[in-house]
């Protein structure tokens, strides 16, 4: 089986890493990584290939940044050539970024089977570009690997065949558990947060990059007010996404001196900081899940989540974007910690289950 495994943006790399590694257990599978180049800076992309132990991509499409149409089109044009040349049996896409959408459309129109990993998640908010990407990708995919029950429920409601939906757990948790182990064996003395952690005081870990949060001045100012309130008696570590950095300058956002601004961090350096944070505040999709997997309190700075299991079972509190609700969410998240649990199958074996399904072996949980 000849498989093209697609990654383009930062949150994709941690998902393809365990899938790629598990493919090596199958002699009959040739799995080639395609990097679309949606993210291209070293901190956004390059470091991930080294740390996550993934080989250099077989294909680099260098699509780069641009408007949604420009970026999606650049990926599509380049990926079509790869599909025509490789003639794969299967194209596997992960997550919900523009590269996921672009490559699933191209593959399907070339008559290639498409598998979507992390399928079925829905925020029901079409103002989110990722929601459009999720819906379109799922509309044309042939195989659906889901991370939580809501994913299967959404796909069934949308008329997908139960036999095409496979609850396998979460490949991102596969990677997370491996990286926690790797980190415990690593010298962290040169990590950017090392001295801050050495002080032994509680600190918060913040990430913010969603256009809906950073592009509008009044929304970003409200979030900044909450962060400054929380920073009154503790440090806040804030690795800043390139989009957020430019919006901070454009809007003149001012943050307390206790907010430690860092460049985007590699996977392990970020993990080193957030896994021991008192609480993570984020608008990322992935961190909502990773914090639940490790039992770290999390406040999601959004009005909705496509990952409801993290709120229902895990440590996640959905706080919205206003200052008072974010501060209240922080308090609630600390209380929630003791009752939180880890969702079913988030056990580090999702990637193995995916290949078992593709090899025709029973794996995961059958959908009803």
For the bound state, the minimum distance from the C-beta of residue 285 to ligand UD1, rounded and expressed in Å, comes to: 6
State the Cα angle at 357 between 355 and 361, rounded to 5°: 105
Please list, in sequence order, all residues whose beta carbon lies within 8 angstroms of the beta carbon of residue 14, skipping any fewer than 6 positions away. 48, 52, 172, 175, 176, 179, 267, 286
Q: Is 60 in the site for ligand UD1 (CB under 6 A)?
A: no
Quick check: 125 and 304 in contact, CB under 8 A?
Answer: yes
Q: Which of 116, 170, 209, 241 is catalytic?
A: 209
| Interface pick for ligand UD1 out of 15, 35, 39, 160 (rule CB under 6 A) | 39
Report the C-alpha gap between 131 and 154 in whole angstroms.
13
Total binding residues toward ligand UD1, as defined by CB under 6 A: 19
Task: Write down the least CB distance from residue 227 to ligand UD1, Å.
Answer: 19
Residue from 3, 5, 6, 9 touching ligand UD1 (CB under 6 A): that is 9
Q: Which is nearer to ligand UD1, 188 or 250 (CB)?
A: 250
CB 121 within 8 A of CB 307: yes
Among positions 243-262, residues that touch ligand UD1 (CB under 6 A) are: 243
Q: Are 35 and 8 in contact (CB under 8 A)?
A: yes
Q: Which of residues 116-135 bind ligand UD1 (CB under 6 A)?
A: 129-130
Q: In terms of CB distance, is 45 or 356 closer to ligand UD1? A: 45
Site string for ligand UD1, 191-230 (x = CB under 6 A): ------------------x---------------------
| Shortest Å, Cβ 8 to ligand UD1 | 7
Distance separating alpha carbons of residues 363 and 251, to the nearest angstrom = 50
Q: Which of residues 297-336 bind ligand UD1 (CB under 6 A)?
A: none
Task: Please say whether the dihedral angle defined by the alpha carbons of residues 107, 108, 112 and 117, taken in this order, is positive or negative.
Answer: positive
Does residue 209 have an active-site annotation?
yes
SS3 82: helix
Rounded least distance, CB 94 to ligand UD1, Å? 12
Indicate the pairing of strand 279-282 with strand 113-117.
unpaired
Q: Which is nearer to ligand UD1, 283 or 352 (CB)?
A: 283
Task: Give strand pairing partners of 260.
Answer: 237
The H or E element spanning position 361 is none
Pick the piece of the chain touching ligand UD1 (CB under 6 A) from 53-61, 151-159, 235-243, 351-359: 235-243
The stretch among 39-47, 190-198, 267-275, 301-309 that binds ligand UD1 (CB under 6 A) is 39-47
Given candidates 23, 36, 38, 150, which one binds ligand UD1 under the rule CB under 6 A?
38
* Paired tokens of 193: 């947060």
Give residues 141-200 in contact with ligand UD1 (rule: CB under 6 A): none
Q: Which of 8, 343, 18, 295 has the alpha carbon at shortest distance from 175?
A: 18
Helix H, strand E, coil C: the string for 276-335 is: CCCEEEECCHHHHHHHHHHCCCEEECCCCCCCCHHHHCCCEEECCCCHHHHHHHHHHHHH
Nearer to ligand UD1, 13 or 20 (CB): 13
- Span from 8-16, 73-81, 109-117, 172-180 in contact with ligand UD1 (CB under 6 A): 8-16
Eight-state DSSP code of residue 46 = I
Q: How far is the CB of 333 from ligand UD1 (least distance, A)?
A: 21
Q: Which stretch binds ligand UD1 (CB under 6 A): 36-44, 103-111, 222-230, 291-299?
A: 36-44
Q: Name, in order, each residue with C-beta under 8 angstroms of 251's C-beta and a sequence gap of 6 or more.
A: 217, 220, 221
- Binding stretches for ligand UD1 (CB under 6 A): 9-11, 38-41, 44-45, 65, 71, 97-98, 129-130, 209, 241-243
Q: Which residues are catalytic?
A: 209
């Amino acid at each position: 089986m000849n498989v093209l495994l697609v990654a383009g943006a930062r949150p994709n790399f941690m998902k393809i890493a365990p899938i790629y590694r598990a493919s090596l257990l199958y002699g009959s599978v040739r799995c080639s990584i395609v990097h679309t180049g949606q993210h291209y800076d070293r901190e956004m992309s390059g470091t991930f290939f080294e740390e996550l132990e993934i080989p250099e991509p077989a294909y680099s499409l260098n699509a780069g940044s641009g408007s949604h149409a420009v970026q999606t089109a650049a990926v599509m044009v380049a990926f079509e050539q790869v599909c025509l040349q490789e003639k794969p049996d299967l194209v596997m896409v992960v997550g919900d970024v523009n590269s996921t959408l672009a490559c699933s459309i191209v593959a399907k129109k070339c008559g290639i089977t498409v598998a979507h990993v992390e399928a079925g998640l829905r925020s029901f908010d079409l103002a989110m570009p990722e929601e459009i990407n999720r819906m379109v990708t799922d509309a044309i995919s042939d195989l659906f690997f889901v991370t939580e029950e809501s994913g299967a429920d959404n796909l069934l409601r949308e008329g997908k065949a139960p036999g095409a939906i496979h609850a396998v757990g979460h490949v991102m948790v596969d990677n997370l558990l491996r990286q926690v182990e790797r980190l415990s064996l690593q010298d962290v003395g040169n990590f950017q947060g090392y001295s801050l952690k050495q002080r032994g005081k509680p600190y918060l870990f913040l990430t913010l990059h969603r256009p809906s949060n950073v592009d509008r001045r009044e929304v970003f100012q409200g979030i900044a007010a909450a962060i400054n309130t929380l920073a009154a008696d503790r440090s806040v570590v804030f690795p800043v996404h390139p989009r957020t950095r430019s919006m901070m300058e454009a809007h003149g956002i001012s943050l307390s001196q206790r907010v430690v601004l860092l460049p985007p961090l590699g996977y392990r350096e970020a993990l080193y900081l957030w896994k021991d944070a008192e609480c993570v505040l984020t608008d990322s999709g992935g961190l909502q899940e990773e914090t639940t997997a490790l039992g770290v309190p999390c406040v999601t700075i959004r009005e909705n989540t496509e990952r409801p299991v993290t709120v229902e079972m895990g440590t996640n509190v959905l706080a919205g974007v206003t200052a008072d609700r974010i501060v209240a969410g922080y308090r609630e998240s600390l209380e929630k910690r003791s009752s939180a649990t880890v969702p079913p199958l988030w056990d580090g074996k999702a990637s193995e289950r995916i290949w078992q399904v593709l090899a025709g072996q029973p794996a995961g949980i059958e959908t009803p």
